[in-house]
Amino acid sequence: MGQTLTYRILSAHLVDGKIAAGEQIGIRIDQTLTQDATGTTAFLLFESMGAGRVRTELSVSYIDHNMSQFGPENHNDHLYLQTVAAKSGLYHSRAGNGICHQVHLERFGRPGATLLGSDSHTPTCGGIGMLAIGAGGLDVAVAMAAGPFYLTCPKVLGVKLTGHLGDWVAVKDVILKLLGQLSTKGNVGWAVEYFGEGAKQLSVPQRATITNMGAELGVTTSIFASDEQTRKFLAAQKREKDYQPLAADADAEYERIIEINLAELEPMAACPSSPDNVKTVAEIAGVQIGQVVVGSCTNSSFDDLMMVAKILRGGRINNMVEFAVAPGSREVLNMLAENGALADMISAGARILESACGPCIGQGFSPAGGVVSLRTFNRNFAGRSGTTDDQVYLVSPETAVASVLTGRITDPRDLPKLFGIEYPRMELPDEFIVNDSLMEEPLSEEEAANVQVLRAPTIVVPQVPPPLPKALQGKVLIKCGDKVTTDHIMPAGSFLKLRSNVPEYAKAVFNCFNEQGRPTFAERAIELKQKGIAGVIVAGVSYGQGSSREHAALCPMHLGVRAVIAKSIERIHKANLINFCIVPIEFAEPADYDKIKPDDLLQIDNLLEVIKAGDKVKIVNKTGSYEFVGRLVLSERDRQILLSAGLLNYTRRKTDG
Ligand code: MIC
Ligand code: SF4
């Protein structure tokens, strides 16, 4: 039996273990990316590992999240990241150069290579035939120092695309359809490979929209073959030398295959407030809207914005809707400016935002309470827009722009009838305008010797976790439900600027669940910590969905949390918990979740012993006077990391021999 593309690339990079679904493997990482919101911690940890210069083929540090610059924090971070990148031999993409995933696809992505990024949407580069994986910043720091990246070898799901997309139906509708089918939970341990006649017609940016939202499925990575479309894209980016054809073997064996006939698809929308709450646009058409935003790493490519501009040309947005456009990169913005498309958008009424994450991560453009906002983004978790009672729908650029013209959710297939607008056919340009004015190249070792790393007082080195106790006495600080995201655990929005200051940021842990008049999660945790009692988080299925932010582990650890007991935990978050020495435990019997209550006192007598060898742990609920069993699903390396008090200590010990 032949190999899938995923296994081919994994095999070519294997340094530890064997390629078989479910096995722990270590792989060599060719490229890394970090962004500023996760990057400052990653570099502080990289520096404390004493690693010196990066040892990958290339590593890029991007500034794209924290760019509002209210107060000095953001700029302090930028200066730190710029100088530490210069010192350590990285490329540095300055604020305004664009969203990391879009820029990486344009400037660095290479078929067949591995990419590890401290952002959950790193698999965007799967659109160019890379094996691209999201991880916590500490894992990326280790990879920058040439350490292998460890993961569970995924099962591979094949998605066979047949037929042609109809007019006004977009690739966003393909991935929304799949999200509706597979949901955001239960897909841990899978990778998705797209192939078939339908896949062959898609351009690299279109493929990247699909692989980008694999993050919402919760899969390890998503990938397309590298073929003529890939060559064309790389040639247009003046990087044809990076091209190599690459595909799965013709007789590759997939664990499961799903077939999607592109011709049968129709415009789709993810309704509030989960990316898997999917309906057809036709079903929700007519709902009044107040805001439309086009952008984010999912849909801000040149093609996406040309589609928007062409539809808008000569038209005018609806009076009751505000409309913003954030081009994904400076290259895209530059191209739109040169060919007049920017002027079309401006004259139709668009507000042009910087090339950055912006509204996607609650950095401005929060909608009014209860007002419906249509966004071409990838996440619509409640409150992520910065408005508590937001109503965010995720749609394609085509649906977004049709709706901005009418003021209601509108099926773009109605545009010819409503406004006489013909479907604009899109062609990948033969040449992109390469704009590297804000991209700094790595310095040589001699040049780097003169660089002084700037670390302002708002940048605080995070505390290293204390060792785990032999026996754990812990109190349930919170009992949350299913699908709790890392946005729930660690809010972004106005708190995002605190990313480089764990003691301050930790005050916001579970902020959305805090009740007025009651001590906050952080206050309760600190009080317990002072009494020498550990904090425990209890959760339902799919705990830690969404963002890769390791602060969702680092900040609870700072507050004294030592265990999470959940029905299931998502891949990146589980790795982050282990890296910061919080024990991830699964309920052996999901019914035990129902019995446990907030404030219950729990006791694990032989914690260290079980971590060493066992896979079941007896937990005594002292308040409820009963016992239940927890499962430890850990690799040998995970156990060693927990016993070493976290990944940083583990790595230091290994390097010290
Ligand atoms: C996100 O989309 O939630 C983010 C912000 O890009 C995160 C990273 C972060 O929290 O900094 C992600 O997706 O990993
Ligand atoms: Fe930025 Fe949004 Fe993409 Fe995250 S999902 S990288 S916040 S654009």
DSSP string computed for 359-419: GGGTSS-PPPTT-EEEESSS--BTTTTS-TT-EEEE--HHHHHHHHHHTB---GGGHHHHH
Angle between helices 647-656 and 571-579 (to 10 degrees): 60
The finding on whether 361 has its CB within 6 A of some atom of ligand 1 is yes
Angle between helices 330-339 and 302-312 (to 10 degrees): 30
Atom of ligand 1 nearest to the CA of 38: 11
Average pLDDT, the chain: 97
Cβ atoms 217, 121 nearer than 8 A = no
**For residue 189, is it within any domain?**
yes
Give the containing element (helix H, strand E) for 426: none
Which residues have C-beta within 8 Å of that of residue 225, sequence separation ≥ 6?
Answer: 5, 129, 195, 199, 245, 246, 247, 248
Distance CA 424, CA 167 (A): 9
Q: CA dihedral defined by 148, 151, 153, 155, rounded to 10 degrees?
A: -140
Kindly write down the DSSP assignment for every residue of 490-541, as one continuous string: S--GGGGGGTT-HHHHGGGTTGGG--TTS--HHHHHHHHHHTT-EEEEEE-T
pLDDT at 370: 94
Q: Please report, for residues 38, 63, 69, 71, 72, the alpha-carbon distance to residue 75 in angstroms, rounded to integers and kept in the order given.
A: 15, 10, 6, 8, 6
Question: Given phi > 0 = left and psi -120 to 50 = alpha, else beta, which region is 545?
Answer: beta
Question: Which residue's CA lies nearest to atom 6 of ligand 1?
Answer: 119
Nearest listed ligand to the Cα of residue 486: 1
Q: What angle do CA 642, 643, 644 make, to 5 degrees?
A: 90
DSSP bridge partners of 294? 325
**For residue 173, is it within any domain?**
yes
Show the domain range for 258.
5-264
Q: Do residues 343 and 258 share a domain?
A: no
**For residue 160, is it within any domain?**
yes
Nearest listed ligand to the Cα of residue 498: 1
Radius of gyration for the chain, computed over Cα atoms and rounded to the nearest angstrom: 24
Q: Do residues 160 and 31 share a domain?
A: yes
**Is the pTM higher than 0.85?**
yes
Task: Say how many Å lie between the CA of residue 137 and the centre of ligand 1.
Answer: 11
Q: Do residues 208 and 104 share a domain?
A: yes
Among residues 652, 274, 224, which one has the least CA distance to residue 488? 274
In the chain, % of residues over pLDDT 90: 98
* Lookup result for tokens 């907030």: 598
Nearest listed ligand to the Cα of residue 375: 2
Task: Say how many Å lie between the CA of residue 394 and the centre of ligand 2.
Answer: 13
Q: Do residues 216 and 295 share a domain?
A: no
The finding on whether 120 has its CB within 6 A of some atom of ligand 1 is yes
Task: Say how many Å lie between the CA of residue 599 and the centre of ligand 2.
Answer: 35
**For residue 104, is it within any domain?**
yes
**For residue 172, is it within any domain?**
yes
| Two structure tokens written together for 41 | 């911690």
Cβ atoms 486, 480 nearer than 8 A = no
pLDDT at 489: 98
The finding on whether 486 has its CB within 6 A of some atom of ligand 2 is no
| Two structure tokens written together for 86 | 């210069």
Q: Do residues 215 and 239 share a domain?
A: yes
Among residues 111, 116, 120, 81, which one has the least CA distance to residue 297? 120
Residue 547 bears catalytic tag: yes
Residue 86 is part of a domain; what is its CATH number?
A: 3.30.499.10
Distance CA 170, CA 241 (A): 30
Distance CA 558, CA 571 (A): 21
Atom of ligand 2 nearest to the CA of 379: 5
pLDDT at 134: 98
Nearest listed ligand to the Cα of residue 487: 1
Task: Say how many Å lie between the CA of residue 100 and the centre of ligand 2.
Answer: 9
- Find the DSSP H helices in 191-301: 197-200, 204-212, 214-217, 228-236, 281-284
pLDDT band at 657 (very low <50, low <70, confident <90, very high): low
Q: Do residues 247 and 324 share a domain?
A: no
Task: Say how many Å lie between the CA of residue 46 and the centre of ligand 1.
Answer: 20
Residue 581 is part of a domain; what is its CATH number?
A: 3.20.19.10
The finding on whether 572 has its CB within 6 A of some atom of ligand 1 is no
The finding on whether 121 has its CB within 6 A of some atom of ligand 2 is yes
Give the total number of structural domains in the chain: 3
The finding on whether 549 has its CB within 6 A of some atom of ligand 1 is yes
**For residue 17, is it within any domain?**
yes
Single out the residue in 385, 411, 437 at which a domain terminates: 411
Average pLDDT, integer, range 286-296:
98
pLDDT at 136: 98
DSSP bridge partners of 618? 629
Distance CA 71, CA 575 (A): 33
pLDDT at 656: 74
Please report how many Cα atoms fall inside a 13 Å half-sphere around the Cα of residue 470, on the Cβ side. 0
Omega into 385 within 30° of 0, i.e. cis?
no
Average pLDDT, integer, range 522-538:
98
Beta strands across the sheet bearing 351-352: 278-280, 268-270, 391-394, 372-375, 291-294, 322-325, 351-352
Cβ atoms 384, 392 nearer than 8 A = yes
**For residue 442, is it within any domain?**
no
Q: Do residues 283 and 209 share a domain?
A: no
Q: Do residues 217 and 327 share a domain?
A: no
Single out the residue in 264, 283, 318 at which a domain terminates: 264
Q: Do residues 260 and 317 share a domain?
A: no
Beta strands across the sheet bearing 256-261: 221-224, 190-195, 155-162, 256-261
Beta carbons within 10 angstroms of residue 444's beta carbon: 9
Q: What is the DSSP letter of 240?
A: G
Q: Please report, for residues 108, 304, 350, the alpha-carbon distance to residue 296 in angstroms, rounded to integers and kept in the order given.
A: 19, 11, 16
Q: Which of 36, 64, 139, 411 is catalytic?
A: 64
pLDDT tens track for 199-236:
999 999 999 999 999 999 999 999 999 999 999 999 99
Distance CA 49, CA 655 (A): 9
Distance CA 182, CA 157 (A): 11
Chain centre to alpha carbon of residue 8: 24
Cβ atoms 606, 632 nearer than 8 A = no
Q: Do residues 180 and 223 share a domain?
A: yes
pLDDT tens track for 54-109:
999 999 999 999 999 999 999 999 999 999 999 999 999 999 999 999 999 999 99
Task: Select from 34, 43, 119 the residue to mutate for testing ligand 1; criterion: most ligand atoms less than 8 Å from CB.
Answer: 119
Single-letter amino acid code for the residue at 171: V
Q: Do residues 194 and 248 share a domain?
A: yes
Residue 64 bears catalytic tag: yes
Among residues 40, 116, 76, which one has the least CA distance to residue 499? 40
Give φ, ψ of 196 to 5 degrees: 105, 170
Cβ atoms 368, 249 nearer than 8 A = no
pLDDT tens track for 133-170:
999 999 999 999 999 999 999 999 999 999 999 999 99
Task: Say how many Å lie between the CA of residue 121 and the centre of ligand 1.
Answer: 8
pLDDT band at 456 (very low <50, low <70, confident <90, very high): very high
Q: Which of 65, 94, 330, 488 is catalytic?
A: 65
Q: Do residues 258 and 321 share a domain?
A: no
Task: Say how many Å lie between the CA of residue 539 and the centre of ligand 1.
Answer: 21
Q: Which of 8, 121, 379, 499 is catalytic?
A: 379
Is the pLDDT assigned to residue 655 strictly greater than 80?
Answer: no
The finding on whether 37 has its CB within 6 A of some atom of ligand 1 is yes
Single out the residue in 218, 249, 264 at which a domain terminates: 264
Task: Select from 549, 571, 576 the residue to mutate for testing ligand 1; criterion: most ligand atoms less than 8 Å from CB.
Answer: 549
**For residue 95, is it within any domain?**
yes
